[in-house]
């Protein structure tokens, strides 16, 4: 009879083979995968078992561009050129497949050939010519988003200059982006700055709400070259002008802080008197989503939007994802119910690539409207320094790259002069800067910890 120790060792070896060695000879088993469709660069999460030692993953017979294991029961694979068909996982012991993957052809990126005029100020319309412009979802002048834009056809898109900055005219669509250099932003004379007005048409006696900056100490207001019947200001950001017997044209405002104008006002001629009693107009005007943008940050994407007259809105539901046709709810922001309101939402994202976002806006009757879908490229696990809001007038919040060393942040003016230097303690992820004393212009944010460095730009507008 063999010694007891020999028999015990044999039993242990046999059990080790059963529970560990035999696993290496088990063929992989796929239980499910998500999402069930994608394009080049989409991350697909595959769950199952016996994935250890995987040698290949394919979609519709086309190899994944890369993949990595999350234990023995999960694989994250990145779709390559792709095709519709089976998802296949292969190990040295064999392979398994599951049908149902749909390959989606990525939209072609835009091309920009020219734009006119080559210069403009806030409120001016610029025509941009190129190719693949039907599905445009973003336009910017010098890195500053346009106030509004729209596609006329596949080769022409129009855009209204917002705060603006000199630089490239950039156009994006779901397939990518393109730009053309040479745009010159013409700033208003002096710090007085007009941003927008509402409504864009009115008759004698109507009130027009004009939004901007440094609107206190005004001396004159005209609509279509006709002086306003009267005007009042609420703080330095809102001007209420009463239309007199007017004309169509520009809204011109002047005062102690300078002169600025916005084009596009339309005067409605007088109408016959109607003595029939009428119901007073509602005090709350029609809701408007003025702007919806996103910027990349260290942990994800920061979303910002501005609204007019959202008293009848209940919630803003934020949706996002890497498939523009299949977005998931990320969070909810409650309406402030104000004449003018600004909102922000931080979308924390674990993986990089192009992300798509949309607002689902719910009013107090539970009816929904959707914003346009915007796209933002998130550079996961890279050094990114971003300031927001951008543009800004008084305070700037800067997201700092993750680090465990002392670092510094510098703000450099358009002439190259360092105007602010901030020494940051280890693990500082955010800092707020007072920019109220700075002149208008594009400033460079430069961050460094001695070994790494990164930079971005921010526009200061008073």
Mean pLDDT, residues 151-167? 81
Taking residue 70's Cβ as centre, other Cβ atoms within 10 Å add up to 12
pLDDT grade for 155, boundaries at 50, 70 and 90: confident
List, for residues 305-328, the tens digit of each pLDDT value. Answer: 878 888 889 999 999 988 888 888
Question: What pLDDT, on a 0 to 100 scale, did the predictor assign at position 187?
Answer: 62
d(CA 460, CA 462): 7
Which range is least confidently modeled, 19-23, 157-161, 234-238, 392-396? 19-23
d(CA 320, CA 346): 11
For the chain, the average pLDDT equals: 80
Question: What pLDDT, on a 0 to 100 scale, did the predictor assign at position 274?
Answer: 37
- The CATH homologous superfamily to which domain 283-381 belongs is Immunoglobulins (2.60.40.10)
d(CA 263, CA 197): 10
Q: Is 120 a residue whose pLDDT tops 90?
A: no
Q: Are 355 and 375 in contact (CB under 8 A)?
A: yes
Q: Is 190 a residue whose pLDDT tops 50?
A: yes
427 phi-psi bin (left φ>0, alpha ψ -120 to 50, beta other):
left
Which range is least confidently modeled, 61-75, 168-182, 391-405? 391-405
d(CA 71, CA 68): 9
User: pLDDT above 90 covers what percent of the chain?
Assistant: 14
Q: Are 446 and 405 in contact (CB under 8 A)?
A: no
Mean pLDDT, residues 187-203? 73
Q: Which fold is adopted by the domain 111-185?
A: Immunoglobulin-like (2.60.40)
Question: What pLDDT, on a 0 to 100 scale, did the predictor assign at position 11?
Answer: 55
Mean pLDDT, residues 178-192? 75
* Candidate ranges 241-250, 282-291, 398-407, 444-453; pick with highest mean pLDDT: 241-250
* 3-state secondary structure labels for all residues of 261-295: EEEEEEECCCCCCCCCCCCCCCCCCCCEEEEEEEE
pLDDT grade for 278, boundaries at 50, 70 and 90: very low
pLDDT grade for 235, boundaries at 50, 70 and 90: low
Q: Are 12 and 20 in contact (CB under 8 A)?
A: no
DSSP for 72-99, please give it.
SSEEEEE--S--SEEEEEEETTEEEEEE
Q: What CATH number does the domain located at 196-267 have?
A: 2.60.40.10
* DSSP E strands, 108-206: 111-116, 119-120, 125-131, 138-141, 144-145, 148-153, 156-160, 167-173, 176-185, 193-198, 201-202
d(CA 52, CA 71): 7
Q: Is 271 a residue whose pLDDT tops 60?
A: no
Question: What pLDDT, on a 0 to 100 scale, did the predictor assign at position 3?
Answer: 52
Residue indicated by tokens 């609107």: 215
CATH number (2.60.40.10, 1.10.540.10, 3.40.720.10, 3.30.300.170) of 26-103 reads 2.60.40.10
Q: Which residues neighbour 416 within 8 Å (Cβ) at sequence distance 6 or greater?
A: none
Question: What pLDDT, on a 0 to 100 scale, did the predictor assign at position 111?
Answer: 87
Question: What pLDDT, on a 0 to 100 scale, did the predictor assign at position 98?
Answer: 94
The dihedrals phi and psi of 343, each to the nearest 5 degrees, come to -130, 155
Question: What pLDDT, on a 0 to 100 scale, did the predictor assign at position 90?
Answer: 94
List, for residues 337-386, the tens digit of each pLDDT value. Answer: 888 777 878 888 767 778 889 999 999 888 888 888 888 777 654 556 67
List, for residues 407-460, the tens digit of each pLDDT value. Answer: 888 888 877 788 988 888 887 878 889 998 888 877 888 888 776 777 777 778
Q: Which residues in the chain are classed under CATH 2.60.40.10? A: 26-103, 111-185, 196-267, 283-381
Which range is least confidently modeled, 215-224, 249-258, 378-387, 441-450? 378-387
3-state SS of the chain: helix, strand, coil percent to 5? 5, 55, 40
pLDDT grade for 20, boundaries at 50, 70 and 90: very low
d(CA 60, CA 64): 10
Whether omega before 110 lies within 30 degrees of 0, making that bond cis, reads no
Q: Is 96 a residue whose pLDDT tops 90?
A: yes
pTM above 0.75, yes or no: no
Q: Which residue has the higher pLDDT, 146 or 139?
A: 139
Q: What CATH number does the domain located at 383-462 have?
A: 2.60.40.1930
Q: Is 88 a residue whose pLDDT tops 90?
A: yes
* 3-state secondary structure labels for all residues of 307-325: EECCCCEEEEEEEEECCCC
Mean pLDDT, residues 256-272? 75
């Amino acid at each position: 009879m063999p010694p007891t120790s020999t028999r015990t060792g044999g039993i242990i070896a046999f059990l080790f083979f059963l529970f560990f060695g035999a696993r290496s000879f088990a063929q992989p088993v796929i239980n499910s995968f998500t999402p069930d469709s994608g394009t080049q660069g989409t991350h697909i999460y595959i769950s199952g078992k016996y994935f250890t030692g995987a040698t290949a993953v394919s979609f519709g017979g086309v190899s994944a561009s890369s993949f990595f294991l999350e234990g023995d029961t999960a694989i994250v694979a990145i779709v390559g050129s792709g095709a519709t068909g089976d998802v296949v996982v292969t190990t040295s012991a064999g392979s398994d497949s599951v049908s149902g993957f749909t390959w989606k052809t990525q939209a072609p990126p835009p091309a920009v050939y020219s734009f006119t005029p080559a210069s403009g100020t806030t409120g001016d319309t610029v025509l941009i010519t190129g190719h693949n412009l039907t599905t445009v979802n973003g336009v910017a002048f010098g890195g500053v988003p346009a106030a509004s834009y729209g596609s006329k056809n596949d080769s022409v898109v129009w855009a209204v200059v917002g705060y603006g900055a000199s630089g490239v005219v950039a156009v994006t669509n779901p397939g990518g982006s393109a730009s053309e250099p040479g745009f010159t932003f013409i700033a208003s004379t002096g710090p007085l700055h007009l941003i927008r007005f509402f409504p864009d048409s009115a008759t004698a006696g109507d009130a027009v709400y004009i939004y901007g900056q440094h609107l206190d100490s005004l001396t004159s207001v005209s609509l279509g070259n006709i002086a306003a019947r009267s005007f009042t200001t609420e703080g330095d950001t809102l001007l209420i002008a009463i239309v007199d017997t007017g004309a169509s044209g520009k809204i011109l405002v002047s005062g102690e802080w300078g002169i600025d104008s916005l084009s596009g006002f339309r005067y409605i001629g007088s109408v016959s008197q109607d003595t029939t009693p009428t119901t007073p107009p509602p005090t709350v005007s029609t809701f408007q989503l003025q702007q919806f943008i996103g910027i990349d940050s260290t942990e994800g994407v920061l979303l910002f939007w501005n609204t007019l007259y959202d008293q009848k809105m209940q919630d803003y539901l934020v949706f996002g994802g890497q498939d523009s046709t299949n977005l998931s709810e990320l969070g909810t922001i409650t309406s402030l119910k104000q004449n003018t309101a600004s909102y922000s939402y931080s979308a924390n994202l674990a993986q990089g690539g192009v992300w798509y976002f949309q607002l689902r806006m719910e009013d107090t009757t539970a009816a929904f409207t959707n914003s346009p879908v915007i796209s933002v490229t998130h550079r996961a696990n890279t050094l990114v320094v971003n300031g927001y809001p951008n543009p800004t007038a008084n305070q700037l919040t800067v997201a700092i790259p993750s680090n465990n060393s002392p670092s510094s942040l510098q703000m450099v003016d358009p002439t190259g002069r360092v105007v602010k230097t901030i020494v940051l303690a280890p693990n500082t992820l955010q800092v707020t800067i007072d920019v109220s004393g700075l002149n208008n212009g594009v400033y460079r944010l430069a961050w460094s910890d001695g070994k790494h460095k990164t930079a971005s730009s921010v526009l200061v507008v008073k």
